[in-house]
C-alpha cells in the first residue's frame, strides 16, 4: 500500500466514509473524465505480462470494493490495524471528492488495482492505496501522476499528504517533500506520522 493514513489530520466531525468534513467540497463545474489507458506488468507472481491499465473516475458501485481494499491492506496489519478497523469508503465520499481507480482493463469486471482520492478544500491527497499483490509494478506511481494532473487542472499548486509510516519511502520516490509531522491522534492512530507536500508546477 502506498498510502495515506486514514486517521485524520485535524479535528473534523466523523462521517461514514473518512475523516474529512461532511459537507460537499466546492468544486468547479464537472469535467468529462475519459478513461486513461496505460500498459504495465501487473503481476509479480507470474512472469511479467504487459496488460492495459485504465484510470477512471470512481463511482458509487466501487465503494464496497474500495472499502475491502483499504481494510485488507497488508500495510495495516498488526499494530496498525486500528486505523482501518470499521473504515468505510462510502458513495457519498466518492461523490464529494475526486476519487479515481486504476483497473485491469482486460479482466472481466475490471478488477480495481488501486485508487486515490483528492480533496480540493483544503488541498490534500486523502487516500492512496494499491492492492498488495500488484505493488512494485508502477500502479502507485501512475496514480500519483494522474493525481498531479487533476490537481493542476483544479488550479492547485501544492497539496498535503499525511503518510502511513510504511509508505514514507514511496512518497520520497515520487517527489513529495517532507514538511513536518502529524502528531498522534489516539485511540485510532496512536503514532506520529510523516507529513509531506506535493508541489504542482503550472503548465
Residue position matching grid coordinates 466546492 = 26
Does 131 reside within a domain?
yes
Does 138 reside within a domain?
yes
**Positive or negative CA dihedral for 121, 122, 124, 127?**
negative
Give how many domains the chain has, as a whole number.
Answer: 1
Query: Tell me, what's the pLDDT at 55?
Result: 96
The answer to whether the bond into 171 is cis (omega within 30° of 0) is no
CATH of the domain at 123: 3.40.630.30
CB 185 within 8 A of CB 82: no
Does 177 reside within a domain?
yes
Averaged pLDDT in 10-residue chunks for the chain of 203 residues: 57 34 31 48 40 94 97 95 94 98 86 97 97 95 98 97 96 98 92 97 84
Owning domain of residue 69: 36-199
Bridge partners of residue 159, in order along the sequence: 198
Cα–Cα dist 75/173, whole Å: 18
Does 65 reside within a domain?
yes
CB 114 within 8 A of CB 36: no
* Percent of residues in the chain assigned helix, strand, coil, to nearest 5: 25, 30, 45
Does 150 reside within a domain?
yes
Does 21 reside within a domain?
no
**R_g (Cα) of the chain, nearest Å:** 16
Query: Tell me, what's the pLDDT at 22?
Result: 25
pLDDT tens for 4-52 read 766 444 333 333 333 332 222 333 333 444 455 554 444 334 333 368 9
Does 109 reside within a domain?
yes
pTM > 0.85: yes or no: no
Grid coordinates standing for 82?
Answer: 486500528
Query: Tell me, what's the pLDDT at 202?
Result: 87
Q: Report in angstroms the alpha-carbon separations of 162 from 171, 175, 196, 197.
A: 10, 14, 6, 9
Does 127 reside within a domain?
yes
Bridge partners of residue 114, in order along the sequence: 102, 130
Grid coordinates standing for 161?
Answer: 499528504
Amino acid at each position: 500500500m502506498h498510502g495515506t493514513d486514514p486517521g485524520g489530520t485535524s479535528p473534523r466531525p466523523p462521517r461514514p466514509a473518512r475523516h474529512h468534513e461532511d459537507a460537499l467540497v466546492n468544486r468547479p463545474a464537472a469535467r468529462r473524465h475519459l478513461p486513461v489507458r496505460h500498459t504495465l506488468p501487473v503481476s509479480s507472481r507470474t512472469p511479467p505480462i504487459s496488460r492495459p491499465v485504465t484510470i477512471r473516475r470512481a463511482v458509487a458501485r466501487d465503494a464496497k470494493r474500495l472499502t475491502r481494499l483499504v481494510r485488507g491492506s497488508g500495510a495495516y496489519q498488526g499494530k496498525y490495524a486500528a486505523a482501518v478497523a470499521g473504515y468505510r469508503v462510502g458513495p457519498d465520499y466518492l461523490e464529494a471528492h475526486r476519487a479515481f481507480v486504476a483497473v485491469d482493463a482486460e479482466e472481466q469486471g475490471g478488477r480495481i488495482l488501486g485508487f486515490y482520492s483528492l480533496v480540493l478544500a483544503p488541498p490534500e491527497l486523502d487516500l492512496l492505496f494499491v492492492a498488495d499483490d500488484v505493488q512494485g509494478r508502477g500502479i502507485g506511481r501512475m496514480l500519483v501522476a494522474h493525481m498531479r494532473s487533476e490537481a493542476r487542472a483544479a488550479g492547485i499548486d501544492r497539496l498535503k499528504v499525511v503518510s502511513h509510516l510504511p509508505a514514507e519511502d514511496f512518497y520520497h520516490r515520487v517527489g513529495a517533500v517532507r514538511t513536518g509531522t502529524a502528531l498522534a491522534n489516539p485511540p485510532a492512530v496512536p503514532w506520529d506520522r510523516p507529513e509531506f507536500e506535493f508541489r504542482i508546477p503550472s503548465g
